[in-house]
């Protein structure tokens, strides 16, 4: 899966850099601003939750792909790489979820 995320990240970064809103969905979304990108991510998150509760595995898989795609756009717009997210997950590995959450609240 890592290579699929790396490939997606590369394409998203290229399309953000090109900023050709007429030729790229990514660029057209970015042209509307970070708020619109985040709003679209939220919509995809809700659709993923709905699919998890009411739809079949194929629908959930499609919604999860949409969610990851839009999250990739948000991350790239902020200059955050999937490698940064992977490093944070690595940092948390072996730490109880309860302990990690409690540490964040302090």
Q: In 3D, which of 32, 29, 26, 33 has the Cα closest to residue 11? A: 26
Q: How far is CA 39 from CA 43, 52, 99, in A?
A: 6, 20, 31
Q: How far is CA 35 from CA 10, 28, 31, 63, 65, in A?
A: 22, 13, 10, 21, 21
Q: pLDDT tens-digit profile of 49-81?
A: 999 999 999 999 999 999 999 999 999 999 999
The confidence score (pLDDT) of residue 1 equals: 61
Backbone CA torsion sign across 13, 64, 45, 104: negative
Total-model pTM: 0.89
The confidence score (pLDDT) of residue 62 equals: 98
Mean pLDDT of all residues in 75-93: 96
Mean pLDDT of all residues in 98-102: 84
How many residues are recorded in the chain?
106
Q: pLDDT tens-digit profile of 20-35?
A: 999 999 999 999 999 9
Can you name the CATH fold of 2-104?
Answer: Helix Hairpins (1.10.287)
The confidence score (pLDDT) of residue 55 equals: 97
pLDDT-above-70 percentage for the chain: 98
The structure tokens 């660029």 sit at 27
């Amino acid at each position: 899966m890592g290579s699929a995320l790396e490939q997606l990240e590369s394409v998203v970064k290229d399309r953000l850099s090109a900023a050709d809103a007429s030729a790229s969905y990514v660029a057209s979304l970015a042209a509307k601003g970070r708020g619109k990108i985040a709003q679209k991510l939220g919509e995809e998150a809700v659709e993923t939750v709905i699919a998890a509760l009411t739809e079949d595995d194929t629908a959930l898989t499609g919604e999860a792909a949409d969610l990851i795609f839009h999250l990739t756009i948000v991350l790239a717009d902020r200059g955050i790489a999937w490698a940064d997210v992977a490093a944070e997950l690595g940092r948390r590995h072996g730490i109880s979820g309860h302990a990690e959450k409690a540490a964040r609240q302090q």
